[in-house]
Amino acid sequence: MAIKLNLLPEEHAVNNNLSSFLKTAKALGVIGIAAFLIFGVGLGIFFILSTISLNSVNANVAKLTSRVEAQQKSEQQIVLVKDRIKKVASIQDLPNSLPNLKAIDAYLVNLSGTGSVGQLTVDPKGANLTLSLRTYSDLTNFLENIQSSDDFGSVSLESFSLNSKTGYSVEIKTTKK
């Protein structure tokens, strides 16, 4: 059996109530430190997991942002293409004077070397033409060819003059068929 040796005087000895309180306080201190350590480790794990989750969310936001920017660019291009298509359609709907120019050009190519075009105005409704022809035969050939054609709705002689130096000067007005 162990011998109990107490070298402190009785006045300094700890009474039983205080002794049990100190034992309880010591046990509560150990439990508190353990709880604090568990809480600290849990908080650290929470911060680590939150950081990993936040980095994942930021990566997803960056991906979505790049997709949205790419879609904005492609949508802008689509809007521009649609606008261009509307402009092309509106231009195609405008009256075209090319058929009248082609029709009158066929007769101008057949002019003799002495004939010359003074003025040519072509619009979608018809053409106005001023010619200078040296000989009477050139004049009659040109007038017969243009009047007998089916290319124009009407052909009218607006002015006619004769100059002994330059020859015949003729102004003709044609309308679309």
Q: Which two tokens stand for residue 18?
A: 């205080």
85: containing domain? 16-94
Number of domains in the chain: 2
Place of tokens 């003709």: 172
Residue 148 shares a structural domain with residue 118: yes
Asked whether residue 1 is domain-assigned, the answer is no
Q: Compute CA 149 distance to the chain's CA centroid, rounded to the nearest angstrom.
A: 50
Q: Which two tokens stand for residue 21?
A: 């309180």
CA distance 12 to 143: 148
Give the pLDDT confidence of 26-42 residue by residue, as tens digits.
Answer: 999 999 999 999 999 99
Residue 108 shares a structural domain with residue 159: yes
Give the pLDDT confidence of 119-175 residue by residue, as tens digits.
Answer: 888 888 888 888 888 888 888 888 888 887 777 888 888 888 888 887 888 898 988
- pLDDT of residue 8 exceeding 80: no
Residue 72 shares a structural domain with residue 138: no
For residue 152, with 0-12 CB atoms within 10 Å meaning exposed, 13-18 middle and 19 or more buried, which class applies?
Answer: buried
Predicted pLDDT of residue 1: 65
Residue 113 shares a structural domain with residue 82: no
pTM of the model: 0.47
SS3 114: coil
